[in-house]
Protein backbone atom coordinates (compact mmCIF):
# COMPACT_ATOMS: atom_id res chain seq x y z
CA UNK A 1 0.00 0.00 0.00
CA UNK A 2 1.25 3.42 -0.84
CA UNK A 3 1.38 6.53 1.29
CA UNK A 4 -0.83 8.19 -1.30
CA UNK A 5 -3.50 5.54 -0.76
CA UNK A 6 -3.44 6.12 2.99
CA UNK A 7 -3.64 9.88 2.53
CA UNK A 8 -6.53 9.65 0.07
CA UNK A 9 -8.44 7.23 2.30
CA UNK A 10 -8.00 9.63 5.21
CA UNK A 11 -9.12 12.67 3.22
CA UNK A 12 -12.16 10.91 1.76
CA UNK A 13 -13.19 9.46 5.11
CA UNK A 14 -12.59 12.57 7.18
CA UNK A 15 -13.80 15.25 4.77
CA UNK A 16 -15.91 13.89 1.91
CA UNK A 17 -17.93 11.26 3.77
CA UNK A 18 -18.32 13.07 7.10
CA UNK A 19 -21.70 14.77 7.33
CA UNK A 20 -22.33 18.12 8.95
CA UNK A 21 -24.20 16.31 11.75
CA UNK A 22 -21.18 14.13 12.45
CA UNK A 23 -18.77 17.07 12.34
CA UNK A 24 -20.79 19.25 14.72
CA UNK A 25 -21.93 16.57 17.15
CA UNK A 26 -19.02 14.10 17.41
CA UNK A 27 -17.35 16.01 20.26
CA UNK A 28 -20.60 16.12 22.25
CA UNK A 29 -21.95 12.57 22.04
CA UNK A 30 -20.65 9.09 21.27
CA UNK A 31 -23.23 8.14 18.61
CA UNK A 32 -22.09 10.76 16.05
CA UNK A 33 -18.43 10.00 16.86
CA UNK A 34 -19.01 6.29 16.24
CA UNK A 35 -21.02 6.92 13.06
CA UNK A 36 -18.22 9.14 11.77
CA UNK A 37 -15.50 6.65 12.70
CA UNK A 38 -17.29 3.77 10.97
CA UNK A 39 -17.85 5.76 7.78
CA UNK A 40 -14.29 7.09 8.03
CA UNK A 41 -13.09 3.48 8.01
CA UNK A 42 -14.87 2.59 4.76
CA UNK A 43 -12.21 3.94 2.36
CA UNK A 44 -9.58 1.98 4.29
CA UNK A 45 -11.22 -1.23 3.05
CA UNK A 46 -9.39 -0.43 -0.20
CA UNK A 47 -6.10 0.13 1.65
CA UNK A 48 -5.87 -2.85 3.99
CA UNK A 49 -7.26 -6.35 4.29
CA UNK A 50 -6.26 -6.56 7.95
CA UNK A 51 -9.24 -6.56 10.32
CA UNK A 52 -6.88 -5.57 13.16
CA UNK A 53 -5.56 -2.54 11.26
CA UNK A 54 -9.08 -1.48 10.31
CA UNK A 55 -10.23 -1.83 13.94
CA UNK A 56 -7.32 0.30 15.19
CA UNK A 57 -8.05 2.96 12.55
CA UNK A 58 -11.78 3.12 13.37
CA UNK A 59 -11.56 2.89 17.18
CA UNK A 60 -8.72 5.40 17.55
CA UNK A 61 -10.47 7.78 15.18
CA UNK A 62 -13.64 7.69 17.31
CA UNK A 63 -11.74 8.34 20.55
CA UNK A 64 -9.48 11.06 19.13
CA UNK A 65 -12.40 12.95 17.59
CA UNK A 66 -14.84 12.44 20.48
CA UNK A 67 -12.46 14.01 22.98
CA UNK A 68 -10.66 16.34 20.54
CA UNK A 69 -7.40 14.84 21.75
CA UNK A 70 -5.32 16.95 19.36
CA UNK A 71 -5.85 19.96 21.61
CA UNK A 72 -4.27 18.03 24.51
CA UNK A 73 -1.29 17.05 22.36
CA UNK A 74 -0.85 20.67 21.21
CA UNK A 75 -1.02 22.01 24.76
CA UNK A 76 1.39 19.36 26.06
CA UNK A 77 4.00 19.99 23.35
CA UNK A 78 3.85 23.70 24.12
CA UNK A 79 4.96 22.95 27.68
CA UNK A 80 8.44 22.56 26.21
CA UNK A 81 8.53 26.34 25.71
CA UNK A 82 10.29 28.61 28.21
CA UNK A 83 8.24 29.11 31.37
CA UNK A 84 7.23 32.64 30.32
CA UNK A 85 5.51 31.19 27.24
CA UNK A 86 3.66 28.34 28.95
CA UNK A 87 -0.05 28.66 29.57
CA UNK A 88 -2.47 26.83 31.84
CA UNK A 89 -4.86 24.24 30.48
CA UNK A 90 -7.76 26.49 31.51
CA UNK A 91 -6.50 29.13 29.10
CA UNK A 92 -5.83 26.67 26.28
CA UNK A 93 -8.61 24.10 26.59
CA UNK A 94 -10.49 25.09 23.42
CA UNK A 95 -7.70 24.39 20.92
CA UNK A 96 -4.53 23.76 22.91
CA UNK A 97 -3.29 27.26 22.12
CA UNK A 98 -3.50 30.31 24.39
CA UNK A 99 -6.44 32.65 23.99
CA UNK A 100 -4.26 35.40 22.52
CA UNK A 101 -3.57 33.22 19.47
CA UNK A 102 -5.67 34.43 16.53
CA UNK A 103 -8.73 32.14 16.47
CA UNK A 104 -8.32 31.16 12.81
CA UNK A 105 -4.70 30.18 13.44
CA UNK A 106 -5.43 28.20 16.61
CA UNK A 107 -8.20 26.22 14.91
CA UNK A 108 -6.18 25.44 11.80
CA UNK A 109 -3.09 24.43 13.77
CA UNK A 110 -5.26 22.11 15.88
CA UNK A 111 -6.79 20.60 12.72
CA UNK A 112 -3.31 20.04 11.29
CA UNK A 113 -2.22 18.34 14.52
CA UNK A 114 -5.40 16.20 14.47
CA UNK A 115 -4.76 15.10 10.88
CA UNK A 116 -1.13 14.32 11.66
CA UNK A 117 -2.11 12.13 14.61
CA UNK A 118 -4.67 10.23 12.52
CA UNK A 119 -2.26 9.74 9.60
CA UNK A 120 0.53 8.47 11.88
CA UNK A 121 -1.79 5.96 13.59
CA UNK A 122 -3.27 4.83 10.29
CA UNK A 123 0.16 4.27 8.72
CA UNK A 124 1.38 2.35 11.76
CA UNK A 125 -1.74 0.17 11.78
CA UNK A 126 -1.50 -0.66 8.08
CA UNK A 127 2.25 -1.30 8.15
CA UNK A 128 2.44 -3.33 11.36
CA UNK A 129 -0.93 -5.05 11.65
Domain extents in the chain: 3-128
pLDDT tens, per residue, the chain with 129 residues: 589 999 999 999 999 999 999 999 999 999 999 999 999 999 999 999 999 999 999 999 999 999 999 999 999 999 999 999 999 999 999 999 999 999 999 999 999 999 999 999 999 999 999
Residue 113: how many other CB atoms lie within 10 Å: 19
Alpha carbon of residue 57 to chain centroid: 11
Indicate the pTM of the whole model: 0.93
Contacts for 84 with CB less than 8 Å, ≥ 6 apart: none
Q: CA torsion sign, 34 to 40 to 46 to 52?
A: negative
H runs (alpha helix) in the chain: 3-11, 20-25, 30-41, 51-66, 69-77, 89-92, 103-128
Amino acid sequence: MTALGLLLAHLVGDYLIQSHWMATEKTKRWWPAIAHAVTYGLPFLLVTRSPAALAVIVVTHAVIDRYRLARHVVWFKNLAAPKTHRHSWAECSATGYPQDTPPWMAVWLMIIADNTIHLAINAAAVVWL
